[in-house]
Structure 1
Amino acid sequence: MPITGLFIGWFDFIYFFCILNACLALLEIWFLGRFTIRIVKWYHFAGYILVIYLLAAIELFTRAAFPASTLLELVALSLFGWLALKSPPASSASSAILAICIMQVVNGIFQTLLNIALTLLFPYTTVLTVISSLFVMAAVFFSYQLALKWLKDRKLPMLRYILILLLPILFVLLVMQQVFATYGNTVTVNSEGTRILPVVNDWTMLIIQIAAYLCLFAVLFAYKKLLESFALQMRNTLLEQQVSIQTNSVQDMQMRYELTRTFRHDLNGHWTVLSGFLKTGQNQKALEYLGKLTTMSDQLSFPCQTGNAILDILLTNKLGIAHQKGINVDCTVKIPDSSNIDDIDLCIVFSNAVDNAVKACSSESKTPQYMILKTVRKGGFFMIEIENSRSDDIVPVKGSGIGLQSIKAVAEKYHGTVDVEKGPNSFRLNVLFIISQQSEYISMQSS
């Protein structure tokens, strides 16, 4: 929050207006960058410091009311995060509200402690005020670190619950605005340098401000527990999905084994037929029969080269099953080496998507059944596109909803999205990964 008020000499102007405002601006923009998972460059810091100087000057010369100056700073920090740091508007606004609320509550506590100290122990001194401001910056930094630690799992889908976090924090901020607007937050002195006693009991204000600080972090702690509960629920859902996948895989493997065993059992008979054709000089019939055997052999597998060994095994098995069921499969999947997408996450996406596509194509339909898998890489974006045929009368298969939830959870882990397009005879699933942002996040976490 911009620090303005009564300046006594050049030291007060240089320290309180220039240095202290700059330090508090650095803390705010640092917190916003960490909260929104954005890398803040030196020119971002410099630009926001200039913004804070401008806001402080406007407040000083217009004598703006405290709520008005807070609103200006809140809008400025939100817009700076959105436009300069390219963070989502909701994330930028929520981090700005949290940053300014923490800043004002901490500043209010130490300002009231300073008032009490000046009343009971000391006359007004610049040195004591400077020491108090240093404690404010240290306490704000500690509070920011604690908030970031408690909300470290905010990469989970948190925007749907953002009001749970923002409404109580906004209430705390409004209460503090009312306290400051009614009783003030600056030290008042007369012409002789003697502090004038406030109308309201400083101890009462201190209790209110400490209660506001505790309420603020109680909200953050409750939100932290909500995120942990959501993560546990998602892990349980994924485990249930993995059990379903394993069950389907066992059934599919049994079917492929039966087909392979049947083929091998009949192989001697096939060789006898071929030998008979060749011995009687019926070479053309031998070639036709050999072609049929090749087709039967190809149906037992569907080789797929994606650049990822684990995914190759998964898709070869699942697409082979789809091929055996008469589904026309077209796979042009390529996984970039620098994607930083975990192998397990890739398997979850493709396993669920292919299983759902096979179930949709397995319905009794006279139209040709097909499945198309492809990937697109453009800069820091990686898209998985899976399209399959379907019919309007298809009844949703049990477990398909859980599969789509698992895909969405993986996409959100990499700050991506899932888009579903349903047509009368087709179904398209688009899964977007922002792999450049994931790389930046990994770098920030490691540093």
Structure 2
Amino acid sequence: MAEYMDFFSKYIIGSIQMFTGAYFFTAFLQKKIKSYLYILFMALCIIVIKVIPNGGIIEFLVYILLLIAGGIFVCQADWKPVLLYSALTVEIMQFCYGIVNSLIAMLYPLMHSWNQKIVGMIFMLSGNIASLLLAVICYRIVYKFFMDSEGIKKQYVLMILTPILMLFLIDEYINSTIYRNATNIIDESGITIYINHYQIFMIQLLGMASLFCILFAYKKLLQNFHLSTELSLLEQEEHSLNQYVEEAKARYEETKSFRHDIKNHIMVVRELLQDGKSEQALNYIANMEDIAGKLSFPCATNNPVVDILIENKLGIAKSMEVDVNCSLTLPYPCLVRDIDFAIILSNALDNAIHACKNMDGNAQKYICIKGHLQGDFILLEIENSFQGKGTFKKGTGLINIATVVEKYHGAMNIKTQGTSFALSVMLIIPQQSESISQQIG
């Protein structure tokens, strides 16, 4: 009977353990593999158990190597997450079995009056099942709360892997010294050393807690990395938008100067015509048209900052052979800040240009900008063509737009149909500038 239980514990439970670890390992990598590959992996694990009958750290290292090989060659994943998640998978399973073994060691002396064979079988079976269930729970927690969808940063792998490996070696030493060899440890003089299983249990429990603390710190580190990257991009965007504002001011001053001199220009043309110098008058008018052309905009929105921005963005689109159309009219001056208009339109047009760029060469590409004032509302719509394939993902640009919309208590809507993408924005014009300045502060 003992041989059957040993076979069940070693091969059946052992293969289930390794299958569970492999399943969550692929989940951590966000990969899916065919079922027969899991069966092949279990067969390899059984061979490892057979070849290394005493288990120990060698068995775990071979298991880690199998996971690494599967992650790189089967899942086609990058080596950084493969290395990290293989060690993490094995470490969680090891800690779970260490915690349950400590509990069993504490409970076993309380059953001394019972049939020891039956108690041993019950403890072995329940211990394996409890360890497996605890490992599944821990895997689920890690998958739900600590997985990073944007990948592992190369410079941080060693930093998080080092403490995980240290915990692995400490836990493996405890398990191999205490729970695999004997219930009591005998020193060189033959004296039995008493083992405090309560302390061992606390060490195992704190080890698991330390593992989750490492993962939590790593998650926060990645979040800070992403935030610093986004902050840098936003600073660049702010610098670019400020340039639009300065260019708009300069263009406005030039227009103001031209309007101031228009009477003088008309007087010069009149005198040339009165003197019969019609050819010189035509040349003078042509020069005036050149000056006026430089001061005009392809899309006159009534807002000089927005005019500059749209001229720049649509110029890029036209160079990519994208059909552009603009019928946007904005109130000016307006209690909606110029910089906020610029954030909405620059991000929306950047996304539209990027979407058109990714389309097939023969596809029809277009960008259409619409907008008008309706009561106390400003309605904007940017429609563009796009590939029409794959899932839509909200990026930093749309998040920035949503932030501005929220500041003005407005609404944002996204609609896709076929190869058409439409972004609609509604802003509520504040009654006084103080309401917005308070939100900015």
Q: Same fold (TM over 0.5)?
A: yes
CA shift, 1:17, in A, is: 2.6
Q: Which runs of 5+ in 2 are unaligned?
A: 184-191, 300-305, 324-341, 361-394, 397-441
1:173 and 1:114 map into 2 onto residues whose CA distance is: 21
Deviations 1:273-330 (A, max 9, x none): 7899999796898489548725852574478xxxxxxxx988634469xx9xxxx998
Tell me the C-alpha RMSD between the 2 structures.
Answer: 4.8
Residues 319-398 of structure 1 mapped to structure 2, 5 A cutoff: 331-332=319-320, 347=346, 377=358
Residues 98-113 of structure 1 mapped to structure 2, 5 A cutoff: 98-113=88-103
Q: Which runs of 5+ in 1 are unaligned?
A: 1-5, 189-196, 304-311, 336-342, 352-372, 380-412, 415-447
Aligned to 2:211: 216
CA shift, 1:148, in A, is: 3.3
1:233 and 1:297 map into 2 onto residues whose CA distance is: 42
2:307 and 2:74 map into 1 onto residues whose CA distance is: 44
Residues 137-286 of structure 1 mapped to structure 2, 5 A cutoff: 137-153=132-148, 155=150, 158-185=153-180, 200-234=195-229, 236-237=231-232, 240-241=235-236, 243-265=238-260, 286=282
Counterpart AA for 2:32: V
CA shift, 1:216, in A, is: 1.6
Aligned to 1:40: 32
CA shift, 1:120, in A, is: 3.2
Which structure's relative contact order is higher, taking Cα pairs within 8 Å and 6+ residues apart?
1
Aligned to 2:187: none
1:84 maps to 2:74: yes
**Could you tell me whether the CA contact under 8 Å between 1:105 and 1:212 is conserved in 2?**
yes
* 1:244–1:377 distance in 2 versus 1, CA, 3 Å: closer
**Could you tell me whether the CA contact under 8 Å between 1:109 and 1:206 is conserved in 2?**
yes
1:129 and 1:208 map into 2 onto residues whose CA distance is: 22
CA shift, 1:100, in A, is: 1.1
1:75 and 1:111 map into 2 onto residues whose CA distance is: 25
2:67 and 2:241 map into 1 onto residues whose CA distance is: 49
**Could you tell me whether the CA contact under 8 Å between 2:100 and 2:131 is conserved in 1?**
yes
Q: Secondary structure at 1:113's aligned position in 2?
A: helix
Counterpart AA for 1:254: K
CA shift, 1:91, in A, is: 1.2
* 1:202–1:55 distance in 2 versus 1, CA, 3 Å: same
Deviations 1:199-257 (A, max 9, x none): 85544432332232122222223323433444554555455445444433321221222
CA shift, 1:156, in A, is: 7.3
**Could you tell me whether the CA contact under 8 Å between 2:19 and 2:42 is conserved in 1?**
no
CA shift, 1:141, in A, is: 2.1
TM-score in terms of structure 1 length: 0.56
Deviations 1:84-133 (A, max 9, x none): 22221101111111111111111121133234434432524444433322
Aligned to 2:11: 17
**Could you tell me whether the CA contact under 8 Å between 1:105 and 1:213 is conserved in 2?**
yes
Bigger radius of gyration: 2
* 1:313–1:301 distance in 2 versus 1, CA, 3 Å: closer
Residues 130-141 of structure 1 mapped to structure 2, 5 A cutoff: 130-141=125-136
The share of aligned pairs that are identical, in percent, is 21
Q: Secondary structure at 2:150's aligned position in 1?
A: coil
Q: Secondary structure at 2:107's aligned position in 1?
A: helix
* 1:374–1:238 distance in 2 versus 1, CA, 3 Å: closer
* 1:198–1:22 distance in 2 versus 1, CA, 3 Å: farther
2:60 and 2:359 map into 1 onto residues whose CA distance is: 41
Counterpart AA for 2:20: L
Deviations 1:328-355 (A, max 9, x none): 99842879xxxxxxx979956998xxxx
1:378 and 1:295 map into 2 onto residues whose CA distance is: 37
The number of residues matched between the two structures is: 321
* 1:131–1:62 distance in 2 versus 1, CA, 3 Å: closer
CA shift, 1:270, in A, is: 6.4
**Could you tell me whether the CA contact under 8 Å between 2:255 and 2:295 is conserved in 1?**
no
Counterpart AA for 1:168: P
1:50 and 1:208 map into 2 onto residues whose CA distance is: 36
CA shift, 1:180, in A, is: 3.0
Aligned to 1:388: none
**Could you tell me whether the CA contact under 8 Å between 1:32 and 1:96 is conserved in 2?**
yes
